[in-house]
Amino acid sequence: MSEPATLPLVAALLDAPLPASGIAWLDAARQENRAAFAASGLPDTRVEAWKYTALRGLGQRSFPNGDASAQARAVDASTLVLPGVAGVRLVFVNGVFRADLSVLDRLPDGLSLQPLSQALQGDAEPLRFALSRHYRDAGDAFARINAASAADGVVLRVAAHARIAQPVQLVFVGAEVELAWHVRNVIELGEGAELSLVEQHVGCGEAGQLATVVSDIDVRDGARLHHVILQDAATGTSLIRRSSLHLHARAQATLHVLELGGALARHDLRAELVGDGAQLHTRGVFMPHGRQHVDTQLAIRHQALDTTSTSHWRGVANDRARGVFRGAIVVAPGADGSDANLSNKNLLLSPNAEIDTKPELEIYADEVQAAHGATVGQLDERSLFYLRSRGIPLAEARAMLTAAFCRAVLGDLPNEALREHLSALLIAQLPA
């Protein structure tokens, strides 16, 4: 681990005042997570989960904490609009809830949605399990600082057997000024509930920021969650996220993830299939360019009978960018009859680009079906030749093949308008 006292980032994060809630257990948890961060500092590349993502440069920076002017920051409302997504929306700017940009006046029956800052003013006891969590792994530095420092975020609950017809949109905007901000989300789907959730990360301006987002998502028996994540942070932003899913008996969660922005963008996606018959399906594309570094850490643990997970991820790196993908699947003792499939395919569009991929599979149960694989290569020369022989210019042919390679994992996104929008964003990101 890095020595905390030598790093300006660690010193700045430790000097920032902790939010005071007046809730004894929450303030104690924040203090304990702050102390754990002070003792460990930032992880270095000797920590397996950070092997390919060095934090030397980030550690030398120092960010002011929080934004007292967040309520007045200008945000282009058009950046909040997504095709196929209309209705309920919760917006945060630099980690602060913005009522003027949110749409909360027409909540459907069975949906409870409010900012964490407001939820803590009422009965906070239902949030105790999530917000008093302690992080103990060597690579958990940013989860610890988030647990200590996040004063706002999303509290979303869907009542048992409620079916929310329209997608719910959560927007996190990093705007204008250099600072550090932190958001904590608690999302719960009751038994038999259904929800479509769209999570959007947007950057306004080029100021460098450090942002952490931690989400705890609990999907109860027979519930269904469809979660779309669009990450397009500003080019100067270091955005570090953790999403933890718990899937109970017969629960289903489907995730479609598109990683486009940020200077350093890291997403730890952890899922535990704790109930018999639980299903998880993840689909993702990461497309770094310039000097971007995009790191996806996928960890899936099968803990119950007859659980299923399928994960199909594509990566495309251009210029001097670097992509990292680590996909780890564990089939625990007693998880007999599990079916796990993981695939990661990657393209390098430049001789200076790099993608590091590491699939992992551990099986401790019987009668299991499991497969995993990863590839890193370049565009198929025969396909390029075929397109060029029909009069298509080289640059256009390369773009067509790359777009088709990426769209393959978005094809089962049921929201057609949103699917077409994400495809257009992918095409716009391709080199001319």
The predicted-structure confidence for 349-386, as pLDDT tens digits, reads as follows 999 999 999 999 999 999 999 888 888 877 777 776 66
Helix locations, 112-247, DSSP H: 116-119, 128-131, 141-149
Write down how long the chain is: 432
C-alpha distances in Å from residue 146, one per residue of 22, 215, 347: 18, 10, 33
The answer to whether residues 10 and 34 touch, using CB atoms and an 8 Å cutoff, is no
Domain positions in the chain are 4-273, 380-432
Three-class secondary structure of residue 398 per DSSP: helix
pLDDT band, very low/low/confident/very high, at 2 (cuts 50, 70, 90): very low
Neighbours of 307 (CB within 10 A): 32
Structure tokens at 399: 């773009």
Give the H or E element holding residue 196.
strand 194-204
What distance separates the 2 farthest-apart alpha carbons in the chain? 71
pLDDT tens, residue by residue, 317-328 = 999 999 999 999
Rg (CA), the chain: 21
For residue range 205-246, list pLDDT tens digits in order.
Answer: 777 899 999 999 999 999 999 999 999 999 999 999 999 999
Q: What's the rounded Cα separation, in Å, for the pair 217 and 253?
A: 10
Contact 254, 225 (CB under 8 A): yes
Pairwise CA distance, residues 360 & 330, whole Å: 8
Mean of per-residue pLDDT scores for the chain: 93
Q: Which two tokens stand for residue 342?
A: 């993981």
Residue 3 confidence (pLDDT) above 50: no
State pTM to two decimals: 0.94
Angle between helices 24-40 and 141-149 (to 10 degrees): 150
- At 375, list the tokens: 């590839």
For residue 38, CA distances in Å to 57, 197, 242, 280, 303 come to: 19, 35, 20, 35, 33
Q: Number of helices (H) and strands (E) in the chain: give both, helices first.
A: 9, 19
Alpha carbon distance 395, 104 (integer Å)? 45
Query: CA–CA separation, 268 vs 275, rounded Å?
Result: 22
Taking 80 as the threshold, does the pLDDT of residue 5 lie above it?
Answer: no
Spatial contact of 338 and 331, defined as CB atoms under 8 Å apart: yes
| High-pLDDT (> 70) share of the chain, % | 97
**Nearest in space to 94 (alpha carbons), one of 195, 219, 234:** 234
In order of 67, 175, 210, the CA distances from 178 in angstroms are: 9, 9, 8
